[in-house]
């Protein structure tokens, strides 16, 4: 399952042996139709010469990148159909690499330069001329599943925003950020699951935003160390939380009360989004349940330490993760 800033997908296994995917219009969405017109205009280029060999090597590289980040995986991989593992590797490689550019660069200026290069490669891929291996693999997946460019654009936009905005005035402003930092991942997954309708996107947005918020409340200390505060300023004022309190261990009572309040908001989002599991294919339904219940488990972990997120980072143990997967397989989630 891949995790990107709180939004999670799981998978693992060997890459698909299918060749270059074909282009077939499903005609379900205006964005898809627009995407098809762009990609179809350049498909001849992608079928030329040594493309198949390049694609095979590119897919191998995204598989290696994905499976090397074990901390982002759960045993839920067994719930994915084999033919979908490689597409998930390709999408994961995009998100993971962009995330690392945003968070692991030596400075914001360097991060922005790296993200600009990444944007150039994304533009080239959607124009039908992918250059780097990651984007050769991604372009094939994008064509096969008719994924529009917008979700990828939104993710990069959120990563760029992190380089110049490190405070949020209101919960509304933070949720607007989540629309680009988390929700696009759900939209991409819905495309991979042939389930990307307007109604499903709304339900997915609740789960993805919930996961992003849980990630924020889980990582208050880590984000503060990076100079970022995702707790909205109005909420801090409402609960009597001063910025200096984010340096105090154990976590002070006003901040605990604020986090308790916001954990309730995140839980409600998971509950609202869970009906999505009844609207998608069985394999994706199990993963939807895992996403939501994994987030709920993280909320339990935060509550278990009485919201002392500055004293220790709340986590869901591997045994609990495995238990969730077994319950999903048994249809008990």
Q: How many CB atoms lie within 10 A of CB 261?
A: 12
Q: Which of 101, 129, 164 is the last residue of a domain?
A: 164
Q: Which of 187, 156, 141 is nearest to 39 (CA)?
A: 141
pLDDT values of the chain reduced to their tens digit, one per residue, 333 residues: 344 343 433 333 333 333 333 333 334 444 444 444 444 444 445 555 588 899 999 999 998 888 886 544 444 456 778 889 899 999 999 999 999 999 999 999 999 999 999 999 999 999 999 999 999 999 999 999 999 999 999 999 999 999 999 999 999 999 999 999 999 999 999 999 999 999 999 999 999 999 999 999 999 999 999 999 999 999 999 999 999 999 999 999 999 999 999 999 999 999 999 999 999 998 899 889 988 999 999 999 999 999 999 999 998 877 777 787 778 777 777
**Residue 191, exposed/middle/buried by CB under 10 A (0-12, 13-18, 19+)?**
buried
> Is 153 found in the same domain as 241?
no
Question: Which range of residues forms the domain containing residue 80?
Answer: 1-164
> Is 175 found in the same domain as 159?
no
> Is 181 found in the same domain as 247?
yes
So what's the pLDDT on residue 48?
55
Q: Both tokens of residue 257?
A: 């009360």
Q: Which of 164, 183, 205 is the last residue of a domain?
A: 164
300: Cβ–Cβ under 8 A, 6 or more apart, which residues? none
Q: Strand pairing of 7-8 and 3-4?
A: antiparallel
| Contact of 76 with 88, CB cutoff 8 Å | no
Residue ranges in 17-149 assigned as alpha helix (H) = 30-40, 43-46, 51-68, 82-104, 108-126, 133-145
Q: What is the pTM of this model?
A: 0.82
CA geometry: angle 180, 136, 2, nearest 5 deg: 45
Q: Estimate to the nearest angstrom the gap between the alpha carbon of 176 and the chain centroid.
A: 16
**Residue 226, exposed/middle/buried by CB under 10 A (0-12, 13-18, 19+)?**
exposed
Beta strands in the chain (DSSP E): 3-4, 7-8
> Is 152 found in the same domain as 46?
yes
> Is 193 found in the same domain as 114?
no
Q: Both tokens of residue 311?
A: 């004293």
The CATH number linked to 36 is: 1.10.600.10
Helical pair 183-192 and 150-164, crossing angle rounded to 10 deg: 160
> Is 103 found in the same domain as 71?
yes
Q: How many CB atoms lie within 10 A of CB 143?
A: 24
Omega before residue 317 within 30° of 0, cis: no
Q: Which of 164, 179, 213 is the last residue of a domain?
A: 164
**Number of domains observed in the structure of the chain:** 2
Residue 300 DSSP SS3: helix
| Contact of 226 with 220, CB cutoff 8 Å | no
> Is 234 found in the same domain as 87?
no
| Contact of 1 with 71, CB cutoff 8 Å | no
Strand partners, 7: 4
| Contact of 185 with 151, CB cutoff 8 Å | yes
> Is 272 found in the same domain as 181?
yes
């Amino acid at each position: 399952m891949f995790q990107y800033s709180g939004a999670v997908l799981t998978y693992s296994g060997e890459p698909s042996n299918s060749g270059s995917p074909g282009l077939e219009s499903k005609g379900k969405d205006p964005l898809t139709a627009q995407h098809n017109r762009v990609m179809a205009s350049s498909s001849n280029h992608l079928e030329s010469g040594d493309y198949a060999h390049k694609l095979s090597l590119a897919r191998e590289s995204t598989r290696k990148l994905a499976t090397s980040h074990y901390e982002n995986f759960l045993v839920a991989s067994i719930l994915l159909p084999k033919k979908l593992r490689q597409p998930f590797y390709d999408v994961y490689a995009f998100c993971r690499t962009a995330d690392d550019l945003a968070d692991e660069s030596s400075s914001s200026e360097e991060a922005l330069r790296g993200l600009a290069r990444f944007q150039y490669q994304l533009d080239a891929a959607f124009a039908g001329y992918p250059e780097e291996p990651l984007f050769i693999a991604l372009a094939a997946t994008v064509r096969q599943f008719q994924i529009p460019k917008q979700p990828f654009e939104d993710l990069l936009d959120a990563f760029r925003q992190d380089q110049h905005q490190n405070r949020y005035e209101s919960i509304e402003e933070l949720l607007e950020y989540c629309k680009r930092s988390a929700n696009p991942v759900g939209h991409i997954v819905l495309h991979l699951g042939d389930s990307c309708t307007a109604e499903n996107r709304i339900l997915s947005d609740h789960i993805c935003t919930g996961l992003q918020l849980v990630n924020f409340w889980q990582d208050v200390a880590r984000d503060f160390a990076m100079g970022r505060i995702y707790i909205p300023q109005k909420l801090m004022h409402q609960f009597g939380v001063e910025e200096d309190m984010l340096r105090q261990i154990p976590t002070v009572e006003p901040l605990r009360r604020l986090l308790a309040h916001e954990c309730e908001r995140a839980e409600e989002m998971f509950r609202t989004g869970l009906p999505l599991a009844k609207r998608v294919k069985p394999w994706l339904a199990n993963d939807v349940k895992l996403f939501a219940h994994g987030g709920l488990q993280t909320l339990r972990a935060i509550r278990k330490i009485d919201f002392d997120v500055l004293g220790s980072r709340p986590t869901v143990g591997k045994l609990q993760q495995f238990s969730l997967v077994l319950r999903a397989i048994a249809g008990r989630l």
